[in-house]
Structure 1
């Protein structure tokens, strides 16, 4: 166990040390403000305060972990070897940057509480983030810092045996629209056909009627393929089905459709099933609660996980609603158009509510890659290169790779050409350890 001496034990201190030490490095951690207890401890120990006590491992603390609420923080990002760092500590510190305060800034999503320009959907865009603007969005920087800290501990305590974490994959299958043409009802089918005609989309119209007359498989109906891949993988996939009411933003099948219900039940026999919260539920607690109850009645068990439509998060309200509804896991944190690490980590972490200064029980699984982000890369060869680079940086820190693919990504539609091959690379990546 690592014992940390600090002048004040705050919720922020406990939160970030437990993420870095316990979740990333597998090292239990305890805290003390008593010098005598610190001196008597005969295993790993360090001080986290303004001045070292003696010649122990010491990291000079930034004020951030001892403050409350939000403050205007001046941040200057510097190059630190092959990575970046901020909140410099000075010469007497074991590390040149306070990785604990910097990690808290990223994990708590401090910058998302501050004034920023939202995109057309009301989301926090990557371009507003410190990571994007300082060119470290592509790095799981919190985990990289954690391993720098581990090396300091290992050098001082060479006989101590650390637990070894393992690289994992947690594929997400997003289902905003279960079928492209099937199960839509007469009125929506007629309306869709007229739209195809008006837009001169004759190929789509032909496919539509081929599907409706049973001559072709619906292009979004790729569940058999995905389930077969699930059977070949030792990691559980998680599907998120949209079951909210039809609206401008959400156009899935009605949850009263028995074939749609049967599909969800069938998938739940092999994989985890979560709720894809509708766009309207993101601003309405009652709507979200109703959708949660609907999903629970379909899967006949408590809902564990959710993911917001359009990857939209409004902090802290979005996560407070999940906590209130006792939803344990969220898979929304990530950027739609950019591959990388929105919260700076590839290790699942607990949501810290900055307004209430409390660690919540909601575990955030921050995704690293959405299939749409790969469309920005032209050739399949380049897509593979970007994908493999992302896998490698996560493997280096024994993290969890969370890719988000849609049910239609596995179709034969031209824009998704080669994506089955990319998905295969992902689910086979743990075999190359």
Structure 2
């Protein structure tokens, strides 16, 4: 166990040390403000305060973890060996930066509480982030800093046996529209038919009625392929089905339709299942509760978690609603159009509510790659290289790779050509 001496034990201190030491490195951690207790401890120990006590491992603390509320922090991002960091710690500190304060800033999504420009859907964009502006979005910096801290501990405690963490993958399958043509109802089918005709999309018209007459498989019906992949994979897939009512933003199948219900039950026999929150449920607790109840009635068990519609997270409201409904995990922390690490990490972490200064039970499982982010790479080779760089960066810190694909990503549509190849690369990547 690592014992941390500090002048004040705050919720922020406990939160970030437990994330870095316990969740990333696998080392239990406890805290003390008593010097005698610290001196008597005969295993891993360090001080995190303003001045060193003696010759112990000392990391000079930034004030961020001892403050409450939000302030406009002046941040200077500087190079540090193979990465970057901020909150310099001075000459006496065993590390040149206060990695705990810097990690807290990224994990708490401090910058998302501050004023920023949103996109047309009201989302925080990559371009607004400190990581994008300082060119470290492609690195899991929190995990990299944690391993630098581990090396410091190893050099001071060579006899201590550190637990080994293991790289893993958690593939996510997002299902905003279960079928392109099937189960849409008479009015939506007629509307689609007229649109096909008046826009001269006769190939689509032919495809629609080939599917509806049973001659062809629906283009979005890729579930057999995905389930076969699940059967041969050591990684458990997580499906998120949209069960919200039809709206401008959400156009899935009516959740009352028995064939749609049967599809969800079939998938749940092999994979974990959660809800894809509808656009209007993002700000409506009652609507969100209704969708959660719908899904749990279908799968006859508690949902694994949620993914927000349009990958939209508005802090802290979005996550407070999930906490209120006791939804255990969320898979929305990432960027739609950029590969990388929105919260600076590839290790799941708990949501810290900055307004209430409290750690919540909601586990955030950040994703690093949404299928749409690969569309900007024109060739298969470019896509593969970008994916392999991402996988390599996660493997180096034994993190959790969370790629997000949609059911239609595995269809035969031209824009999704080669995406099965990318999926296979992810599933086949060895631990080391």
Instruction: Pick the TM interval, shorter chain.
Output: over 0.9
Q: Which residue of 1 aligns with 2:363?
A: 363
> What is the deviation of 1:304?
2.8
TM-score (norm 1): 0.99
CA distance in 2, matches of 1:52, 1:205: 74
* Residues 1:120 and 2:156 aligned together: no
Cα RMSD after superposing both structures: 0.6
Looking at structure 2, the residues matched to 22 and 48 of structure 1 have their Cα atoms a distance apart, in angstroms, of 17
Residue equivalent to 2:81: 81
Q: Aligned partners of 1:84 and 1:199: how far apart in 2?
A: 51
Give the corresponding residue for 1:392.
Answer: 392
Q: Which residue of 2 aligns with 1:424?
A: 424
For residues 383-410 of structure 1, give each alpha carbon's deviation from its aligned partner in whole angstroms, at most 9, with x where no partner exists. Answer: 0000000000000000000000000000
How far apart, in 2, do the equivalents of 1:205 and 1:377 lie? 30
* Residue in 1 that maps onto 2:90: 90
Secondary structure at the residue paired with 2:241?
strand
The 5-angstrom pairing of residues 149-160 of structure 1 reads 149-160=149-160
Distance of 2:143 and 2:267 partners within structure 1: 33
In structure 1, the residue matched to 2:288 is 288
CA distance in 1, matches of 2:287, 2:379: 42
Which has the larger displacement, 191-200 or 267-276?
191-200
Where 1:359 maps in the other structure, the secondary structure is strand
1-side partners of 2:76 and 2:273: how far apart?
42
Matches within 5 A, 1:105-254: 105-254=105-254
Secondary structure at the aligned position of 2:9 is classed as coil
Whether 2:304 is the aligned partner of 1:304: answer yes
Residue 25 (structure 1) aligns with: 25
Matches of 2:47 and 2:192, distance apart in 1: 65
Question: Partners in 2 of 1:256 and 1:297 — Cα distance?
Answer: 12
Question: What is the Cα deviation at residue 432 of structure 1?
Answer: 5.3
Q: Is the 8 Å Cα contact of residues 45 and 57 (structure 2) preserved in structure 1?
A: yes
Q: Which structure 1 residue ranges, 5 or more long, are not aligned?
A: none
Unaligned runs of 5+ in 2: none
- 2:24 & 2:359 partners in 1: Cα distance? 17
Partner of 1:340: 340
> Is 1:321 matched up with 2:321?
yes
Displacement, 1:303?
A: 2.1
CA distance in 2, matches of 1:118, 1:195: 32
SS at structure 1 position matched to 2:289: helix
Partner SS, residue 59 of structure 1:
strand
Partner Cα distance (1:44, 1:71) in 2: 34
Q: Distance in 1 between matches of 2:348 and 2:109?
A: 14
